[in-house]
Amino acid sequence: MKIAVVGCTHAGTAAVKNMAELYPEAKITVYERNDNVSFLSCGIALYVGGVVKDANGLFYSSPSELQEMGVNMKMKHEVTNIDTDGKKIAVRNLETNKEFEDTFDKLVMTTGSWPIIPNLEGIDLNNVVLCKNYQHANHIIEKAKQAKKIAVIGAGYIGAELVEAFEVYGKEVTFIDSADRILNKYLDPEFTNLMETEFENRGVKLALNQAVTKFVGSEGSVEKVMTTDGEYEADLVILCVGFRPNTDLVKGQVDMLPNGAIVVDEYMQTSKKDIFAAGDSCAIYYNPIKKHAYIPLATNAVRMGTLVAQNLVKPTIKYMGTQGTSGLHIYDYNVASTGITETAASLFDMNVKSITISENNRPEFMPTYENITLKVVYEEETRRIVGAQVISKIDATQAINTLSVCVQQEMTIDELGFMDFFFQPHFNKPWHFLNQAGLQALQA
């Protein structure tokens, strides 16, 4: 069996490692444009902020490790064309510029995603940079050393983490987004309000509900960011406006969502039986809405890549779908979410209710305790839990993993009230705060 793997970050690395173990007789060839594999881009802000001192720690595999497993690693090789029916690929060696053709029995598309680059005047100015891979991380660190005023465009997780890192680093930071709130895809207003206040109290300028119109500079370097509502000085601009699936190679050959995300079934198989896909290049079954959606997360990617290997020869293990569960640490706050927000529910024509509780993490007779705010979103008719969010200065984020399982198993808010959780005064109260959310929803 001849297996071609295109792209090797999270999903690709997971697929390759497992395929090498499961099919020792197979000839596995990886085609990767970069000179590295498995870079954890979610660690870029930690690297930029100096929490992680050695960027090599953000790699959990290497070309040499995969080569030692018997995999033919074609690093700095770009696949330029794929013929899924003829089972042929065209490849260019980026170092020699030589081109050649290869064939496959099975193709694994793990091409990931690429940052959305807006078509704006001045986008090519020096010091307007992307934030995705290892090279980007190093560029940001080097440029940040000289920068005094930094603009971060895009108020998602990566943007928020970078803003914190730059502010702590002593930079003057402007946080820009076209939405009216930061982190609006993950959290409802009562949570984002807290975090926006925290940023502003630390001197970060929030420029929300305004779109960037152009970048202005002199002598080839950026000096200002112009928006629909003002202008902001910046000698370094980081673009974090989102990602798009990198799937042009198979466009029109396999089923996709309108944004280009490849649609896979529960066995990671595309609409062509010998073509598999995983990771940020894919649309994935999203349990809260019971439809496919584009949710680019490293956790999804490694699970999907592992399942590609398991199901490559025959359907063996089904994917259980995702809740898009994620977490974030900003300043003193620990934040996590799963499923859909109450705000997003209307976009999916879902009729939902929610319960929000604010509770101390342990009994007040203890010498110290800390507040936890939890919100659980559920369908009004079925009372099925479809999402949740938590924020606290203590780490209560594991509760969101529990609620992720609740969403996956289609549990109701009423069942949550009576789930079995332990009690010990060092850790919690006789009624766990998850129980309390369910009990209060009974009375709502």
- Catalytic residue IDs: 10, 42
Q: How far from 441 is each of 188, 392, 416, CA to CA, in Å?
A: 18, 21, 10
The secondary structure element, H or E, covering residue 108 is: strand 106-109
The CA-atom distances, in angstroms, between 405 and each of 76, 173, 412, 443 are 40, 38, 12, 24
| Strands of the 291-293 sheet, one edge to the other | 262-263, 282-286, 291-293
Contact 109, 268 (CB under 8 A): no
DSSP calls for 281-311: GEEEEETTTTEEE----HHHHHHHHHHHHHH
The answer to whether the Cα torsion of 361, 363, 366, 368 is positive or negative is: positive
Contact 22, 46 (CB under 8 A): no
- What element of type H or E holds 176? strand 172-177
Amino acid at 344: A
Q: Do residues 308 and 264 touch, judged by C-beta distance below 8 A?
A: no
Q: What is residue 192's DSSP assignment?
A: H
